[in-house]
Chains A and B, each alone.
Chain A
Amino acid sequence: MRRFTWFNATSLTLGFVFLYLPMVILVIYSFNASKLVTVWAGFSTRWYGELLGNQAFLDAAWVTLKVAVASSTLATVLGTMAAYVLVRSGRFAGRTLFSGMIYAPLVMPEVITGLSLLLLFIGIGLDRGVLTIILAHTTFAMCYVSVVVSSRLVSFDRSLEEAALDLGCTPFTAFRLVTLPIIAPAVVSGWLLAFTLSLDDLVIASFTAGPSATTLPIKIFSAVRLGVSPEINALSTLMIAIVTVGVITASLISKRASLAQQRDAQAAARAQ
Chain B
Amino acid sequence: MAQTVFAPWDNPDEKPLIQFKNVTKRFGDFTAIDNLTQDIYTREFFALLGPSGCGKTTMMRMLAGFENPSEGQILIAGQDMAGVPPNKRPVNMMFQSYALFPHLSVWDNIAFGLRREGAEKTQLAARVEQMLKLTRLERFARRKPHQISGGQRQRVALARSLAKAPKLLLLDEPLGALDKKLRQDTQFELMDIQEKTGTTFVIVTHDQEEAMTVASRVAVMDEGRIMQVATPAVIYEQPNSVYVADFIGDVNIIEGAATPHPQADGYSVAWAEGQPQFHAKTNRSFAPGQKCFLALRPEKVAISAEPPEEAANRIQGKIIDIAYLGNISTYHVRLPNGTMMKAQTANTRRLSRRSLTWEDAVWLSWTDTAAAVLEG
Which A residues form the contact surface with B (CB < 8 A)?
157, 159-160, 162-170, 173, 177-178, 181-182, 261, 264-265, 267-269, 271-272
Contacts and interface: CB of A to CB of B under 8 A. Distances in A.
Contact of B147 (A157, A165, A268): A268
A163 B95 contact: yes
A236 to B, nearest CB: 40
A264 B149 CA distance: 10
Contacts of B148: 268, 271
Interface in B149-177: 149-152, 160-161, 164
A162 B99 contact: yes
A264 B160 contact: no
Which 5 A-B pairs rank lowest in CB-CB distance, beginning with the nearest? A168-B116, A167-B113, A163-B99, A159-B99, A272-B149
A268 B149 contact: yes
A29 B143 CA distance: 53
B96 A166 contact: no
A173 B87 CA distance: 11
Interface of B: 64-66, 85-87, 91-93, 95-97, 99, 101-103, 112-113, 116-117, 144, 146-152, 160-161, 164
A169 B114 CA distance: 11
A160 B146 contact: no
A165 to B, nearest CB: 4
B101 A170 contact: no
15 contacts: A157-B97, A159-B95, A160-B101, A163-B99, A163-B160, A166-B87, A167-B92, A167-B164, A168-B87, A168-B113, A182-B101, A261-B146, A268-B147, A271-B149, A272-B149
A113 to B, nearest CB: 37
B99 A272 contact: no
A163 B102 CA distance: 12
Given A162-B95, A163-B99, A271-B149, A264 B86 contact: no
Contact of B66 (A162, A168, A178, A261): A162
Contacts of A271: 148-149, 152
Nearest to A184: B103
B61 to A, nearest CB: 9
Contact of B116 (A159, A167, A181, A272): A167
A272 B161 CA distance: 23
Nearest to A167: B113
A158 to B, nearest CB: 9
Contact of A167 (B85, B102, B112, B150): B112
Given A167-B92, A167-B116, A169-B116, A162 B86 contact: yes
Contacts of B95: 159, 162-163
A163, A170, A181, A261: residue with the most chain B Cβ atoms closer than 10 Å: A163
Nearest to A265: B146
A225 B122 CA distance: 70
Given A261-B146, A268-B148, 20 more contacts: A159-B96, A159-B97, A160-B101, A162-B66, A163-B95, A163-B160, A165-B65, A165-B87, A166-B65, A166-B87, A166-B113, A166-B161, A167-B87, A168-B164, A181-B103, A182-B101, A182-B102, A264-B146, A265-B146, A268-B147
A173 B149 contact: no
Nearest to B160: A167
A101 to B, nearest CB: 27
A164 B146 contact: no
Contacts of B97: 157, 159
A178 B87 CA distance: 14
A166 B149 contact: no
A178 B101 contact: yes
A258 to B, nearest CB: 12
Nearest to A160: B99
A170, A173, A265: residue with the most chain B Cβ atoms closer than 10 Å: A170
Contacts of A169: 87, 116
Nearest to B116: A168
Contacts of B87: 165-170
A173 B144 CA distance: 21
B103 A163 contact: no
A140 B333 CA distance: 74
B371 to A, nearest CB: 44
B117 to A, nearest CB: 6
A165, A169, A170, A261: residue with the most chain B Cβ atoms closer than 10 Å: A165
Contacts of A164: 101, 112
A261 B144 CA distance: 10
Contacts of B93: 162-163, 166
A268 B144 CA distance: 10
Contact of A264 (B85, B101, B144, B161): B144
Contacts of A182: 101-103
Nearest to A270: B149
Contacts of A165: 65-66, 85-87
Contacts of B146: 261, 264-265, 268
Nearest to B103: A181
Contacts of B116: 167-169, 173
A168 B149 contact: no
Contacts of B150: 272
Nearest to A180: B103
Nearest to A168: B116
Nearest to A165: B86
Nearest to A158: B99
B93, B96, B152, B161: residue with the most chain A Cβ atoms closer than 10 Å: B93
Nearest to A181: B103
Nearest to B150: A272
Given A165-B86, A166-B87, A168-B113, A267 B147 contact: yes
A252 to B, nearest CB: 21
Contacts of A168: 87, 113, 116-117, 164
Contacts of A157: 97, 99
A222 to B, nearest CB: 48
A136 to B, nearest CB: 35
